[in-house]
Amino acid sequence: MPHTSSTVPLTPVPSAAARSIRSSAIRDLLAVTARPDILGLAGGLPATELIPAERIAREVAAALGDPETLQYTLSAGTVGARTAVAAYEGVAPDDVLVTHGSQQALSLLATALVDPGDVVVVDDPVYVGARQAFEAVRADIRGLPLTPGGIDTELLERWCRDGLRPRVVHTVATFHNPGGVTADDDRRSHLARLADTYGFWVVDDNPYGRLRFRGTDPGPIRRHGGRVISLGSASKILAPALRVGWLLAPPEVVATVERVRQSADLCGSSLTQSVTAALLDDTAWLDAHVDGLCRAYGDRAEALVGALRTELPDDAEITRPDGGMFSWVRVPGLDATACLTVAAREGVAFVPGPAFAVERDLSDCLRVSYATLRPDDLRIAASRLGRAVAISRGRRAG
């Protein structure tokens, strides 16, 4: 029979779940500001020159000597990877599920734990990947304001006393993305107690925890209670291309997420899990490598924050992080979204605050990352940003 053209449009009609997911403003922004003349403060990528490429290459070659590393593996991860992560995190191997990056862990958890309409509480400003994961399962997302001491657990307790029953509370408690702050020990303990009292799960999303260059580590939230799921990642300390993340949870949760994972990709890469396990197991090398990362990121953070305090208006509020990759800036009277256009002309990029907003007005805020640029370039970027802010705020005032 001759082929006849269909009158049905070829453009797919997105499902309700797909329609509920907002595009990542950060990914959209990176596509716009990828010009080589722009100094990028927008991305959250680790510094390429600090990735241990030669050591990874040696481990890849060694792993390829075993044909099993090219085979399928268990949905929960290879035995070697689960054992290495367990030792690294101080938990039992049965509490570990290895995933294709920690974002997959978050997506799998959302599917495993949340039904459409369930209340999920997130930081406000929010890690964008968390919002997308919970939007995908059509959760009722509520934004809990972030404070200089971390998530506002006092307000969360008032909400719960007034009848709110979250299914999940997600937070980046250590070196917050985008806020740059770290939750203190009292808030961590309080959050875990609230979870035990009101029956929700805490998701402690912790990809940056090893990147501490100042202060004392308060420890994971899970040490305060049993209803805590921790997420971790090799991306920030080793290499994003390994695509190895993990979740730590009671075995019952691990088993549930493992079943969900089987409908997604069956299993992760035996090869990259083997490489990651070898690097995590070499604790002397790993500690020295991470110490080097922390020194480099600490120098970069000091360079950027110090320069911003000089270049931005006196009323600007600039977070001084103790680790991680980000600082959060508020400039009263600034329209950060409009300022981005001016900043691009000046040769610098950042992420406007509204990209991270859940319910709050963050129009005068912006996120900057110091991870990918060296100190001298960060000082130049701060100078360019200062000019852009002065131009933009002057226009608004006029």
The residue behind tokens 């082929």 is: 3
Q: What stretch of H or E contains 168?
A: strand 168-171
Q: What angle do CA 322, 145, 181 make, to 5 degrees?
A: 0
163: left (phi over 0), alpha (psi -120 to 50) or beta: left
Spell out the per-residue pLDDT of the chain, length 398, in tens: 555 555 656 666 677 766 766 665 555 566 655 678 899 999 889 999 999 999 999 999 999 999 999 999 999 999 999 999 999 999 999 999 999 999 999 999 999 999 999 999 999 999 999 999 999 999 999 999 999 999 999 999 999 999 999 999 999 999 999 999 999 999 999 999 999 999 999 999 999 999 999 999 999 999 999 999 999 999 999 999 999 999 999 999 999 999 999 999 999 999 999 999 999 999 999 999 999 999 999 999 999 999 999 999 999 999 999 999 999 999 999 999 999 999 999 999 999 999 999 999 999 999 999 999 999 999 999 999 999 999 998 866 54
Query: Burial of 287 by CB count in 10 Å (0-12 exposed, 13-18 middle, 19+ buried)?
Result: exposed
- What secondary structure letter does DSSP report for 69? G
Helices (H), the chain: 16-19, 25-32, 53-63, 79-89, 102-113, 128-136, 153-161, 185-198, 251-262, 270-281, 283-311, 336-346, 375-397
CB atoms within 10 A of CB 4: 6
Specify the pLDDT at position 62: 98
Residue 232 pairs with which residues in a beta bridge? 246
Cβ neighbours of residue 365 closer than 8 Å, sequence gap 6 or more? 125, 328, 329, 330, 331, 336, 352, 353
Say how far apart CA 114 and CA 140 lie, in whole Å.
10
Q: What angle do CA 245, 109, 324 make, to 5 degrees?
A: 45
Alpha carbon of 59 to those of 49, 99, 266, 281: distances in Å? 18, 20, 24, 12
**What residue type is assigned to position 90 of the chain?**
G
**What residue type is assigned to position 241 of the chain?**
A
Tokens of 374: 């060296």
pTM, to two decimals: 0.93
Tokens of 126: 């929010």
Q: What angle do CA 219, 176, 49 make, to 5 degrees?
A: 95
Please check whether residue 280 is in contact with residue 84, taking contact to mean a CB–CB distance below 8 angstroms: yes
Specify the pLDDT at position 8: 58
Alpha carbon of 330 to those of 2, 131, 280, 319: distances in Å? 64, 22, 38, 9
Specify the pLDDT at position 396: 61
Please check whether residue 230 is in contact with residue 220, taking contact to mean a CB–CB distance below 8 angstroms: yes
Tokens of 112: 């495993």
CB atoms within 10 A of CB 106: 24
> By three-state DSSP, how is residue 6 classified?
coil
